[in-house]
Amino acid sequence: MARIRLNRSARSTSDRVAEENRRTFRRHGVFVINMIGSPGCGKTAILQRTAQHFGGRLAVIVGDIKTTLDADRIAQGGIAAVPIETGGSCHLAPSMVRDALAGLDLAALDLLVIENVGNLVCPAAVDLGEDIKVGVLSVPEGDEKVRKYPALFLRTAAVLVNKVDLLPYCEFDVRRVREDCLKVNPDAEVFEVSATTGKGFEAWLEFLRRARR
């Protein structure tokens, strides 16, 4: 634990493996998302609902410090889900993703989502070989997260504001989040969703279909 900077050689090894992953994904025509958000923001629930619309063409790699609970939840829905237990590391590394690919038939996939370790900080700076990063935040976390964690949100192609079903019970200004996103990263698309009720998923799914092309 420290003010973390990979030294140049470790960084270049990491980036090299990320590039290898990227070439592998391209070869198989799979579009890959690196999904990043706080613990408990609803990444797994979002993936469960998203997967319903892609049938067997979507698979998930799920990173957790400890336990395979999230991968198990996803697999129960009949979706291919490969767990990675990082054993203490606060983010996924590209080599962990490379090793997890052995458990997947990439040729059968349109979309692969890598659910990163629940953490708004450390995963943001690490390229896994993905096409895009997607940031997830949730209504009960409060509406100042984009300001407080800009390093993530300036890299995301899309931001999911999850748990909008809890808006009546929380102080949360969606407009403020949209304005903050616009300042940090004008290209990011913002989607208000509820993985519990399904609200807002049409627009998110449409984004995924567009992004793939």
The alpha-helical segments, DSSP class H, found in 77-109 are 94-100
Q: What is the DSSP string of 24-59?
A: HHHHTT-EEEEEEE-TTSSHHHHHHHHHHTTGGGEE
**Interaction of residue 145 with its own copies, rule CB under 8 A:** yes
Residue 81 vs 208, nearer CB to its own copies: 81
Residue 54 vs 89, nearer CB to its own copies: 89
**Interaction of residue 148 with its own copies, rule CB under 8 A:** yes
Q: Which of 19, 26, 105, 151 binds its own copies (CB under 8 A)?
A: 151
Q: How far apart are CA 61 and CA 115, in angstroms?
A: 6
**Interaction of residue 117 with its own copies, rule CB under 8 A:** yes
Per-residue contact string for residues 153-182; x = within reach of its own copies by CB under 8 A: ----------x-xx--xx------------
Residue 110 vs 165, nearer CB to its own copies: 165
- Smallest Cα–Cα separation from 81: which of 64, 94, 95, 93? 64
Cβ-based burial of 81 (10 A; exposed 0-12, middle 13-18, buried ≥19):
buried
Residue 24 has which token pair?
A: 């592998």
Cβ-based burial of 171 (10 A; exposed 0-12, middle 13-18, buried ≥19):
exposed
**Interaction of residue 141 with its own copies, rule CB under 8 A:** yes
Distance of closest approach, residue 53 Cβ to its own copies, in angstroms: 22
Under a CB-based contact definition with an 8 Å cutoff, are residues 156 and 133 in contact?
A: yes
Q: How many residues bind its own copies (CB under 8 A)?
A: 49
**Interaction of residue 89 with its own copies, rule CB under 8 A:** yes
Residue 142 vs 200, nearer CB to its own copies: 142
Residue 124 vs 208, nearer CB to its own copies: 124
3-state SS, residue 112:
strand
User: Residues in the site for its own copies, rule: CB under 8 A?
Assistant: 1-4, 6, 10, 14, 38-41, 64-67, 69, 86, 88-91, 93, 117-123, 125-126, 137-142, 144-145, 147-151, 163, 165-166, 169-170
